[in-house]
A = this chain, B = another copy of it.
């Protein structure tokens, strides 16, 4: 008998579905950035920049966005309930936060934050979320349709697990897409049916294109079960028009497709003439109810003016599924027992923030507006900078947290990328990182039309840093174009 000095599990012997998908926002570019960061630490001054600017991920607070004080106060008190009864706490916490934390704790199992909750989330917190949705949309929402989740990603994974039975089961997804979708569909053994957004139309959605993709998919024997819509768009930064949303609702209703509505950027809309409308609201406005159409809305604590990524909180509202399906989703979520309590509390705060008349209201509004105005200024500066670069065109920024400029690179650069065995956007992004410390995600990670090159750059680094970034970006780009002009 011989024992090989080899690990028994190798990359060749794991689940090939895991190997198959790619997830670039946390992928190769981050690995490269971490190496450079280590180099700066080990050999200060050895690189032409002093720090890495992580524009690869929508990670607001990592890039300087300030947390909302009220939210943090409530979390802090819920972690340590005895504080509420201490006189000294009044010097450290607002009366508002003390009151809210007390109300939340009263409704938790054992009046504390240390227990498992229902796998669906604490009933009272789900009620707060449902009430917040009803107030936002002007249509009723029920606590029993709400699942609190560890961020939107785990909710989306759960719905893919519910919907996908075999490789024939497929999901319509926009391209460019947030690669969680392709990743999750591949992982759960289904097929992604892409529909292309139209870059020349501000990354708008054309319903005839979606219809064509559906028909092609059906003709090739696929069972299309759902349509993913990301609104506001990631990576495109587009906010759907009401007409587009109505077309999508009519289409999905007629074709019996579930709408999987990624609405995590609902509090990141910056354009005067568009506002966020949830797909459920659009469906109800058209007169469709639970029996007419299935809609799942995903939301998260990670984006918006709150940006609490580290907490992993969120909800999904599930409308138009049979109650037996809800029971199965409940069972599926019970396999990880329950979502984390801080995330549950935080999503309830976001859906029910301080109101006019509350002691914390003014501070809250100031903090919120400062964040918005800073994001808007940053976006404008960056958009102008990208647009001014040779061979670069940049979409109009309407929502979410990203710019997705298109690069038209010289043939010699494309050739140089080929020689390195990578696509031109990957080549460009790594060169940019190596020269400036600015980490962006190569557009190919979001699977846009092949033959085009983009990068995704978040608007989050804050006005000061962006002001410092722009000349470095410009200098790099000019040198790059010069080098490959031929």
Contact = CB atoms under 8 A, between A and B. Distances in A.
A61 B338 contact: no
Interface in A117-134: 117, 119
A468 interface: no
A305 to B, nearest CB: 12
Contact of A336 (B57, B92, B114, B150): B150
Contacts of A183: 335
A332 interface: yes
Contacts of A189: 189
Given A1-B254, A292-B3, A341 B11 contact: no
B308 A114 contact: yes
A29 B161 CA distance: 25
Contacts of A153: 335-337
A124 B437 CA distance: 23
- For this complex, into which size category does the number of interface residues on chain A fall? 35 or more
Give the residue among A112, A253, A322 with the most B Cβ atoms within 10 A. Answer: A322
A201 interface: no
A341 B311 contact: yes
Give the residue among A64, A163, A164, A309 with the most B Cβ atoms within 10 A. Answer: A309
Contact of A7 (B110, B151, B291, B340): B291
Contacts of A113: 310-311
Interface stretch (A70-78, A395-403, A474-482): A70-78
Contacts of A117: 310
Interface in A248-287: 253-254, 256-258
A134 to B, nearest CB: 21
Given A1-B254, A9-B322, A115-B310, A23 B76 contact: no
Contacts of A231: none
B10 A322 contact: yes
A77 to B, nearest CB: 7
A73 B80 contact: yes
A6 interface: yes
A299 to B, nearest CB: 15
Nearest to A86: B92
B76 A307 contact: no
Interface stretch (A13-21, A39-47, A139-147, A208-216): A13-21
Interface stretch (A238-246, A323-331, A364-372, A418-426): A323-331
A83 interface: yes
A339 interface: yes
B15 A162 contact: yes
A340 B340 contact: yes
Contacts of A114: 60-62, 67, 307-311
20 contacts: A3-B253, A6-B291, A7-B320, A7-B325, A9-B162, A10-B325, A11-B322, A15-B165, A25-B334, A26-B119, A75-B80, A88-B88, A113-B310, A114-B307, A115-B309, A116-B310, A150-B340, A153-B335, A157-B336, A183-B335
Given A14-B163, A150-B312, 10 more contacts: A7-B294, A10-B324, A18-B162, A26-B119, A60-B114, A64-B110, A114-B307, A150-B336, A312-B336, A312-B337
